Amino acid sequence: MNGFFAALKKDFSLFFRKGGLFSLLFPLLLLPLFLAFFQGGSGQILSFPVSIIDEDETLMSKTLIRQMEEVELFSEVHKISREEISAELEKGSVGILRIPKDFFYTAYRFQGEPVELILNEKRPTEAAILESVFTSVMQIMEKEQETSLAVFHTAYGETLSAKQEEVLYEKASERLLSAVLKRQLIFQDEEIKANLELALLMRIFSALLFLFLSFVSLSVISAVPEEEKKGIVARFRQMRGKGFYLSKFLVLLFLSLVFLALSLLLLHGTLSLSSESLLWFSIYYLFSLLSFYFFFWGIFTVIRDERLGKNLSICVIFLILLFSGRLFSAGKIPFSIAQFSPVSITALILEGLRRGYRGKALLSFAYPLSVPACIGVMLLLLEKLFDKKNSLGQKEKKTSLAGSAYLQSRSESLIMRYLPFPLWRGFTLIGRTAGFVLFLAFCLLLGKYAEDKQEERLQIYLVNQDQGEWSKELLRDLEEEKSIQITVISGEEKAEKLLYGDKEGVLSILEGYSDDREGKGLLLYESSSSSLSEMAVREIVAALVAGEKIERTAGTYLSSLLGKELSPEEERILKENEVNYKRKTPLYIVEQKNGRSKEELFSPKREAIYAFLLYFFLFSLAAVMGESEEKRVSSRINSIRRGKLRYLGGYFLFFLFISLCFYIALKLSFSLYAMLSVFSYTLFLFGFSRLLSTRFLGEGAETGLSLNLGLFFSLIGGAFMDFSALSGWLQYLPWFSPIGLFLKGTEGDIFAPGILLVLGILCVLP
């Protein structure tokens, strides 16, 4: 028992020596950011400016501008001229709508220019939202135009008089405005912002929880190989000590309690979870901790090299985060596989708790979390099995082992002889041959991740509770729609599909849809917890429903013009004219143009993912500089002329090599500002990681304070979401993070890489 308490004391001392106090206090820095964004007024999503070139100057165009000014989504609506297009985009306008001369008049003659929407391609998410609204309105206008022409030509013949054309224009304008303004009334719930904030909360919190639990487990287990080399484990067993690994788990449990407490506070405040739900979340949290602990225990039991084990673990952590698609909206593996990732399971548990799942129904979703624990246990058993075989045949294999060790040392000496100092130094730093192969594999997988294979169509589920003619018509139109893909499910499957969130959401056609002439509130769209495309889906569906309603009312429209019931012959002619007056030329065109560089509104850019990965990978490599053996090497080299310059220069060049490899693997664009940002960011990471390792933390720096700092820098710097797209003081947070400064530099801000360069030099000089 005394041995157990000695091990416990040793592990606590080791933890606090590595910046453990900050690890405990670190969540306190994250909580205010979460609460400020998800509950504070300063964190609301910013509306964005748009511009209009009104060359028409008619009642219809002025009415359209007035309606746009009343849309909350648009912060400002600027009236400009053609000559101001480039300048307006540079100022940050998301899009410019150009209404050509006599558009609303000539459109009904199939003449004149189409409406033009010019989007700022450097603000992609906001531009996509604007395009979805614009496209929805224009599709309604196209349908109204075709119907009005068919009705009037059925009523008055092939040639219309000037007065009849004027009546056509007036009535079509009234119907169009009514259809456009009422298009969203078909949905029961029009609240989008709350759903969007929920999706962002689910994404960021799930990722942070996964990273914290995995890193904190790694920080405790990664010390085992070094302790084995120093004989600590052997002496502990010789003294008949028990509970060596239990001691480490108790330390792990202790340092994760603060994060658990703050997580419970956050979930209670944002999701309004009950005490019972919070208890179930605590059980899941502890089970996750145990699973990660066994997983990394198994890895470090098989891989006795601490440096190689850390590199492998960090690669696995980030590949799970990237390929699951739960944070960066670009999952590259099927959902059937991605749902087994710890990030997906966390999001699933949170959504289940929010929807009232309890007990066995909830824990059944957490079973895949046992996969990492099972892998760890299997590795432990395999290692024990091989240890027994090796001990039995140790004498017979002694000669062959000596020979293989000789060949390995000879090959490594050849590498050191012929490679330049920075490269062979980096070769040993990365974990020699096995580590280099791991690094190449990681870069190849990053390249695979960077391949643009995202779905072009929004995928949703559809529940048809109505089963009437109108609902079947909507179903057919949705199946033909190019921008959306539907999968029909039953009402019983709806709750499960929303819980798993493998598609954007579920559209329900409620009972009575086909019998209601008004069509108000008879569609229900429920977005998945991780979806950010709710507005786009609503606009697509609204445009289709409005178009169908316009077509269905064509007969009533004609009857009101004629002042009588329609004869069968008139109905036949109307149907023929509806086909004859379909548009053959586009009513609108959409064009992309460069404007002021800006990050996406919700998901981070690929450059943010690059900065996020590079921070943790380089910090893991830099931790070697805090080891006592490396400090002795540094002292000896400093006694040589220009030794320190060569020593630091070699390390930095290797760091720069890693940076460029990641940059190329992620297929990022090369530009002067980008290269300046990469150089200054790498210099800062090199200097900052060296400073922490050598002056403050010593051995194990990369798994203590620096990792928690990395999570903090990632959150406020825009690696998880774009804070500059938020209102208030939150939009200035990236300036206080090296990751945020790097992103500002890639956007063309020369001051950001300059700040990083100065900070990097200051960190290197001591």
Q: Count other C-beta atoms under 10 Å from residue 507's C-beta.
A: 22
What pLDDT score was predicted for residue 682? 93
| Region 331-350 average pLDDT | 70
Q: Alpha helices of 419-553 — where are they, by DSSP H?
A: 421-429, 432-450, 469-480, 494-500, 534-552
- 619 and 741 in a single domain? The answer is yes
In angstroms, rounded to a whole number, what is the distance separating the alpha carbons of residues 609 and 620? 17
Q: Which of 15-19, 42-46, 93-97 has the lowest average pLDDT? A: 42-46
Of 411, 177, 371, the residue nearest 291 (C-alpha):
371
Please check whether residue 495 is in contact with residue 570, taking contact to mean a CB–CB distance below 8 angstroms: no
Pair 669, 686 in one domain = yes
Instruction: Tally the domains of the chain.
Output: 3
Task: Provide the residue type at 374 as one letter.
Answer: C
Does any domain span residue 550?
yes
Query: Do the domain assignments include residue 486?
Result: no
**Do residues 111 and 206 both lie within one domain?**
no
Give the global pTM.
0.69
Are 267 and 294 in the same domain? Answer: yes
Residue 723 covered by a domain:
yes
117 and 131 in contact (C-beta within 8 Å)? yes
Of the residues 587, 603, 619, the one at which a domain ends: 603
**Residue 171 and residue 219 in one domain:** no
Structure tokens at 121: 């391609």
Q: Do 3 and 128 have their domain in common?
A: no
Residue 410 lies in a domain: no
In this structure, of 233-247, 340-354, 363-377, 698-712, the range with the lowest mean pLDDT score is: 698-712
Using the predicted structure, report yes or no on whether residue 191 has a pLDDT greater than 60. no
Same domain? For 53 and 34 the reply is no
DSSP tag of 586: -
pLDDT in tens, 575-606: 888 888 887 777 777 776 655 444 344 456 77
Using the Cα atoms of residue 703, residue 218, residue 719 and residue 650 in order, give the sign of their dihedral: positive
Residues 134 and 265 in one domain: no
754 and 728 assigned to the same domain: yes
Whether 541 and 632 share a structural domain = no
Structure tokens belonging to residue 84:
């101001």
Q: Which amino acid is at 267?
A: L
Q: Answer with the one of 343, 374, 391 that is the final residue of a domain.
A: 391
DSSP conformation class of 732? G
Output the CA angle 109-114-116, nearest 5 degrees: 160
Q: Are 21 and 258 in contact (CB under 8 A)?
A: no
Residue ranges of alpha helices (H) inside 355-397 are: 359-363, 370-392
- Does 417 fall in a domain? no
Indicate if 309 and 266 belong to the same structural domain.
yes
Which string of b and e fits 373-393 if b means at least 16 CB within 10 Å? beebeebbeeeeeeeeeeeee
Compute the mean pLDDT over every residue in the chain, rounded to the nearest whole number.
75
- Please check whether residues 608 and 646 belong to one and the same domain: yes
Which residues have a Cβ under 8 Å from the Cβ of 576 and sit 6 or more positions away? none
Answer for the pair 558, 175: CB distance below 8 angstroms, yes or no: no
Work out the number of other CB atoms within 10 angstroms of the CB of residue 501: 22
523 in a structural domain? no
Residue that is last in its domain, among 572, 603, 634: 603
Query: What is residue 305's three-state secondary structure?
Result: coil
pLDDT score for 683: 92
- Per-residue pLDDT at 25 exceeds 70: no
Compute the CA torsion angle 402, 404, 407, 408 (nearest 10 deg). Answer: -110
In percent, the amount of the chain with pLDDT more than 90 equals: 4
- Which tokens in the block code for residue 310? 């850390």
Q: Which domain holds residue 225?
A: 1-40+189-391
Which burial class, exposed, middle or buried, applies to 73 when counting CB atoms under 10 A from its CB (0-12, 13-18, 19+)?
Answer: middle
Domain assignment of residue 478, yes or no: no
Residue keyed to tokens 């050849």: 414
DSSP-assigned letter for residue 403 = H
Residue 218 in any domain: the answer is: yes
